[in-house]
Chains A and B, each alone.
Chain A
Amino acid sequence: MEISIFEAIGPIMVGPSSSHTAGAARLGRMAAKLTGQPFHHVDFGLHGSFAKTYQGHGTDLALVAGVLGMRQDDERLRDSFKLAKEQGLTYHFYETEISGAHENTVCMSFLLEDGTTREIIGSSIGGGQIKICSIDGFPLEMSLNMTTLLVINRDTKGIMYQIARILAANDINIATIKLTRQEKGAMACCVIETDSDITGSVLRELQEIPAVQTVKLIN
């Protein structure tokens, strides 16, 4: 396994803990990006070490800062509760147990503008690195270190071919790909990491595939 020097010197972050503060901020920010809609309330279910030590490490401040869009090195992070109030965002923390989850795991339920809820579970796995583990019950695995495409589609034959064809035609190389589904013929979820950025026109092309329900780009 190759490790970048910036994992030994870095990240630049707000203290005190790369897993409990920086990773938490990143989890919040990435989860907010995945909601795809404005939201005005978030419930944070804290599991394991997150539940036990969140106050001392500012995990709660970092999660709220993250969903407000702040990065892990933003010094306003410690004032995030005040900033949330100013922006009309409410939140609630509770302790929970998620079976089989990493020690530093949070379940975030976003109350969206259209009245629906989006539930995202993610873990802070050390050194500020994160893993999104599920979206609305779909098990998946996203580290979000690269340009990442999330495609939710109906489980039908040839869908991978159609997606790959569009990416290839636009000179986009797929680095990793992971496909999961709820059950045969039901909804499926595809996470694709690419080596280069993806433009709006490519997203529109993907969206036009009949079986595709949503396409989300996180970069």
Chain B
Amino acid sequence: MYHSLKELLQQAEDREVLLSEIVLDNEIELSGMEREKILQKLEERYEVMKRAAVRALGERLETAGNLISGIAMQHREYTAKGTTLCGEFMNLAMAMALSGSEVNASMGRICAAPTAGACGIVPAVLISIEQAKNCSEKAMLNALLTASGIGTVIMKNATVAGAEGGCQAECGVAAAMAAAAGVELCGGTPRQSVWAAVLALVDCMGLVCDPVAGLVQVPCAQRNASQTVNALTCIDLALAGMTLPVTPDEVVESMYKVGRMLPPQLRETAQGGIAATKSAQEITKRIFS
């Protein structure tokens, strides 16, 4: 059992194993399920993630009001030209995140991670690394374990609901989960995984939830792309040795406090941020009248 990032890390370091192993052992104890059954359930989830991450790269999906239809394919086509600033790796990752968001908005099948609105981030980061580093299937399932371990600690000590903590709690936590998992896939230590996670949280602390017309489309999809990039950069930062002069659990606590300080208008109610603009109001009228 672990209730904080400190305890999770401590257990991994005491036993000299990766975070994924601590998370798996804990889940076995908690659920009473066998190891193979848990891994099989994770595999099903990863399959759904992979399909959603590529599905909208090749087809334009209809969404309510079509606010983000075609954005994933547009980005893949741009990437294929070979003229990008940030390179193929980063741009394909963003395209996959956009695909996940587009599939979600079109009422397609996705796996929430940790929420449906943030479902593009963990898959985009993990699949990008899987392809770049040629990771084994087992390594990918372990990465999902690490991601979910970070996710559950944040759920226990803070929140992953946009209505409670803003976008930092949804897309930010997804980035944190993905960053920790990515470090493990890249051969980093459990300590580096934890730092990558909280660096990702720090980098988007205070990010508000302001969905245009209340729909899980804009700016959710764009933030799935940007938080995918956030996670990837935090992986490199942590692998290079970046830390913070505060503890990881203090960062989680801060994220939660900041979320509670956000006025309700900036927490999923579509009454603040870009959702409150004149343009957004007109879109709302157009879609719902």
**Chain A residues at the B interface, C-beta cutoff of 8 Å:** 1-18, 21-22, 52-53, 55-58, 61, 73, 75, 77-78, 126-128
Contact = CB atoms under 8 A, between A and B. Distances in A.
Contact of A14 (B64, B108, B288): B108
A75 B116 contact: no
Nearest to A22: B116
Contacts of A56: 64-65, 213-215, 287-288
B111 interface: yes
A13 B27 CA distance: 22
Interface residues of B, number: 51
Nearest to A1: B156
Nearest to A16: B216
Contact of A13 (B106, B109, B145, B215): B109
Chain B interface main SS type:
helix
B158 to A, nearest CB: 12
Contact of A77 (B1, B107, B113): B107
B82 to A, nearest CB: 32
B149 interface: yes
A18 B170 CA distance: 12
A77 B156 CA distance: 32
B45 A4 contact: no
B145 A5 contact: yes
B131 interface: no
Interface in B48-73: 48, 63-65
A12 B45 CA distance: 7
A8 B106 CA distance: 22
B117 A128 contact: no
A127 B112 CA distance: 8
Contacts of A55: 64, 288
* Max chain B C-beta neighbours (<10 A), residue from A1, A5, A52, A58: A5
Contacts of B150: 8
Contact of A16 (B23, B107, B113): B107
Contacts of A4: 27, 30-31, 152
B276 interface: no
13 contacts: A5-B145, A6-B41, A8-B151, A10-B111, A10-B112, A13-B109, A15-B119, A18-B112, A21-B116, A52-B214, A53-B214, A55-B64, A56-B65
Interface in B226-268: none
A18 B151 CA distance: 16
A193 B108 CA distance: 33
A10 B112 CA distance: 5
A52 B115 CA distance: 21
Contacts of B209: none
Contacts of A7: 114, 151-152, 155
Given A16-B104, A21-B107, A11 B112 contact: yes
B99 interface: no
A4 B155 CA distance: 10
Interface string B128-172: 000000000000000011011111100110001100000000000
B104 A15 contact: yes
B103 A15 contact: yes
Interface in B84-132: 103-117, 119, 122
Contacts of B155: 3, 7-8
B240 to A, nearest CB: 27
Contacts of B160: 8, 127
Contacts of A52: 214
A167 to B, nearest CB: 19
B275 interface: no
B215 A8 contact: no
B42 interface: yes
B148 A75 contact: no
Contact of A9 (B30, B31, B104, B144): B144
